[in-house]
Amino acid sequence: AQSVTQPDIHITVSEGASLELRCNYSYGATPYLFWYVQSPGQGLQLLLKYFSGDTLVQGIKGFEAEFKRSQSSFNLRKPSVHWSDAAEYFCAVRDTNAGKSTFGDGTTLTVKP
Amino acid sequence: GAVVSQHPSRVICKSGTSVKIECRSLDFQATTMFWYRQFPKKSLMLMATSNEGSKATYEQGVEKDKFLINHASLTLSTLTVTSAHPEDSSFYICSARASESSYNEQFFGPGTRLTVL
């Protein structure tokens, strides 16, 4: 069965500092991987996705993520965090056949001024 | 990009009543839609997979008689919470898989906040 682990429940960074959110997955083959952001009371917004090819993927809002097969990881990064980035971030793995998505428990990002 | 809508965005109902939530793919056809549930400050949990023209497939532990799913067309799936109780209060999110996508592209709706009094 597929699974996703986000080891950090809560991260606090200063505005302008760099950010890395960790994500580890378990899946039998090469997975489809996603990062979503959710503001309070809102739906999910897709930040970026990995299907195949280049392991470094660029997303919206200056985010990027790197797929590392050897580490079963798909960490999200941003070089300089803005106060508006404060939100809940979810990593997800999707079954390439059935299409079911499994989400991590999320990481809450707080940005200090 | 592809758009998925949900209606209503929020609903408050009395215990014992039934509530229907609609999920629509606005500009693409979706043979498969997924229904998720999110508790406060928790992750999304897949409830069921809805396939157009056939019965939904429910995840383990989800009561199919409690959460009725109908996928009557390629652009509409409905989730009916029957005889709702306060413990059914949650954020329900659907996603729709584009029929023509080679990568199982899915697009999420904005969610429906259900509060059962």
pLDDT for A97-113, tens place per residue? 778 889 999 999 999 99
- Local structure of residue B9 (DSSP, 8 states): S
Q: What is the DSSP letter of B28?
A: S
Tokens for A45? Answer: 């917004």
DSSP notation for B57-97: EEPTT--TTTEEEEEEETTEEEEEE-S--GGG-EEEEEEEE
pLDDT at B12 exceeding the cut of 80? yes
Give mean pLDDT, residues B88-110.
Answer: 85
Q: What angle do CA A47, A49, A54 make, to 5 degrees?
A: 125
What's the whole-number average pLDDT of chain A?
93
* Residues above pLDDT 90, as percent of chain B: 72
Rg (CA), chain A: 13
pLDDT over 70, % of chain B: 95
Question: What gap in Å lies between CA A14 and CA B95, rounded to an integer?
Answer: 34
| Residue from B106, B107, B115 whose CB has the most chain A CBs within 10 Å, to mutate | B106
- Decide if pLDDT at B7 tops 70: yes
Interface of A with B (CB under 8 A): 32, 36, 41-44, 46, 51, 90, 94, 96, 98-106
Average pLDDT over residues A42-60: 92
The amino acid occupying position B35 is: W
Chain A residues whose beta carbon lies within 8 Å of the beta carbon of residue B113 = 41
pLDDT tens-digit map of A21-45 = 999 999 878 789 999 999 988 889 9
Do you find a cis peptide bond into B8, omega within 30 degrees of 0?
Answer: yes
pLDDT at residue B4 tops 80: yes
What is the Cα–Cα distance from B57 to A85, expressed in whole angstroms? 36
Residue B25 phi, psi dihedral angles, 5° rounding: -90, 120
Interface touch B104/A90, C-beta < 8 Å: no
